[in-house]
Structure 1
Amino acid sequence: MKVLIAGAGSVGRSIARDLLSHGHEVLLMDNNPAAMRVAQVAEADWMLADACEMSALQDAETQTMDVVVAATGDDKANLVVSFLAKTEYGVPRTVARVNNPRNEWMYDAQWGVDVAVSTPRIMTAMVEEAVAVGDLVTVFTFHQSGASIIEVTLPPDSPVVGSTVRQIPWPAETVLSCIVRSDRTIAPSPADTLEAHDELLFIVSAEADPQALDAVLRSAPSATPPTE
């Protein structure tokens, strides 16, 4: 996968290192000479240029990129980069950093943003996760589809502890995608049994009612597995 990262600050460099470790090709672009810390991410390609300029994006061959990440510290720049990448170069996937939560409402498909990442929102979700065992926590929302990733940690007295995945009548438009147990991640199968302190990650569509999931997790499942 080829990835262009606009913004070579600490956030951009960190993303680049992770992507490179997974075997992807990365181009880091920044218009600030002080950000050109090439030795810190030597495996990446580097470009001193303004990603808001069409000429710079053309020189970077943006049309060949699979993903463009707008990771600068300026929300206006991140929106412009996403918009140009999507509308002028047809990049399949754009990911944009939200610096000020007040600007989050602008990060949508009209500005060419597929995924908006707000650090304050993620931190809030992690705080809620740490103190709200048994409660549903929205970890992430996909702006394009409206679907969400919802996490819940099962308390020891949860009615569903000891039940298998197939026994639980999961609500429509709700998919159990992962079970995190201690330091293990488990791709759930119908025969897997839920245990106390399991962290469950769900993909929930925009049309689904999270309260329906909450109700299921707070009630004992039927002894008879639901008909598939």
Structure 2
Amino acid sequence: MPPERTPAKYRQIAEHLRAGILEGTYPAGQPLPSEEVLAKQFGVTRPTVRQGIAELRAAGLVEVMMGRGMFVRSPHSRPSYTRPRGVRSDANGRYVEADGLRWTDAEEPAVTRTDAPLALADLLNIPPGEPMYTYDALQTADRGRLRQLHRTHVPFSVLLDTKYEEEAPPPVPQLYGALRDLGHDLRFTEYLRTRMPLPDEAEALRLSDGVPLLHILRVTLNGEGKPLALEEFQLPGDDLELSYNL
């Protein structure tokens, strides 16, 4: 039999800490050895230690607190951020996000003509391949500490016989007001799932290795339940929880 391959150093670190957490050597809420200590113990660089820690963060066993260090996550602990989800109308009749955050586009949103893929066509109740206006933006809030990728799709068929048949409609949140002005009563449905990010998504959101993202699909519907637009939100999933009013 061929000899067993020795696990990579970062995996050795992850398994060492994982065993200590599960055996109670490192109780919930207690700090883990520092990056410097672990680097000396295993004879590696600090980036290698961080790679091992990233595996434990992705598994929900460890949380990293800025300026304080690494701690064993309790199964009952709360993330640093809780964000209400939903859309509401403010006193001036403008549509705003329920979390109250002021999101700023890091750059001018890119507007393109795209064809609806099968999965999105199903949610929008349109034929696959129907043309859509698509907006892409990297957005920040809280002085750049929070980041999200935001994409909006508006099918051409929704805009037939309106002033937007020949010009692109405005981006969200102005899009909601534009749809309302076209005579639609709006309501919203969201679909939430987690997945691992693609390399460009991880770079844009500044995600560490092994950290998943939250992928939210929001469908804007009229009063009769006809889909009018679809948004995609991609958020870091390591220290965030979302709340919904039911």
Q: TM-score range by the shorter chain?
A: under 0.3
Whichever structure has more helix as a proportion of its residues is: 1
If the length of structure 2 is used for normalisation, what is the TM-score? 0.26
Whichever structure has more strand as a proportion of its residues is: 2
Q: Which has the larger radius of gyration?
A: 2
If the length of structure 1 is used for normalisation, what is the TM-score? 0.27
Tell me: higher relative CO, structure 1 or 2? Use CA pairs within 8 A at least 6 residues apart. Answer: 2
